Amino acid sequence: MPDLDALAAEIAACRACPRLVAWREEVARVKRAAFGDQEYWGKPVPGFGDPDARLLVVGLAPAAHGANRTGRMFTGDRSGDWLYRALHRAGFANQPTSEHRDDGLALRGAWVTAPVRCAPPANTPTAAERDACSPFLERELDLLPAVRVVVALGGFAFGHVLRVLERRGVEVPSPRPRFGHGAEAPTSGPMVIGSYHPSQQNTFTGRLTEVMFDAVFAAAAAHC
């Protein structure tokens, strides 16, 4: 795993996007009152999981008071609560909770990452910020050769993963499949499966239910 460790260190040291650097560090200084006694990570967040992963889960970006606080993808927020419960039920995680970096969570056959590594204002990275981060995802794919399935959480991740695969010479269906919950894009490399993002906008409204989320990871497991 030394190459993945080196990539993680490089990601955490990145200061390529001034807007994101300013925002993530401001959030880490000001903090949310509920976490006022905690030291925020306040840096880009590397991917996390099993180096022999068959499943790659791709989100959007770290949450300001979630991964930007804890330093681990989808850790310390309600989206992560949903994700790791689903991964645990599907057999990809040893426990259903993810609260901080040293909580004992271990992924089995799965790796969790994002196209953008810094928390963006209003959860909305620009195209330029996405493109600046893209090489990190490409290098992760090179260092995770066992990946057979990518679950893309949200339309942003779904489209970005397909573009990244195309740039790496992977054959992608033409026209590209439209994003939707459970949408599948068979490529000459990994299968790409779309899922609604487990954000509160989707889970609180019932647009995404745990049954729907479990169905995506059951399909992913079948392709692994």
Q: What is the pTM of this model?
A: 0.96
Domain ranges of the chain: 2-223
High-pLDDT (> 70) share of the chain, %: 100
Q: Which residues of the chain have pLDDT under 50?
A: none
CA proximity to 64, closest of 17, 13, 116: 116
The Cα 8–Cα 5 span in angstroms is 5
d(CA 195, CA 48): 19
The bridge status of strand 48-49 relative to strand 110-113 is antiparallel
Residue 2: what pLDDT?
Answer: 72
Write down the CATH number for the domain with range 2-223. 3.40.470.10
**pLDDT for 1:** 65
Q: Strand order in 191-195's β-sheet?
A: 48-49, 110-113, 55-58, 149-153, 191-195, 184-185
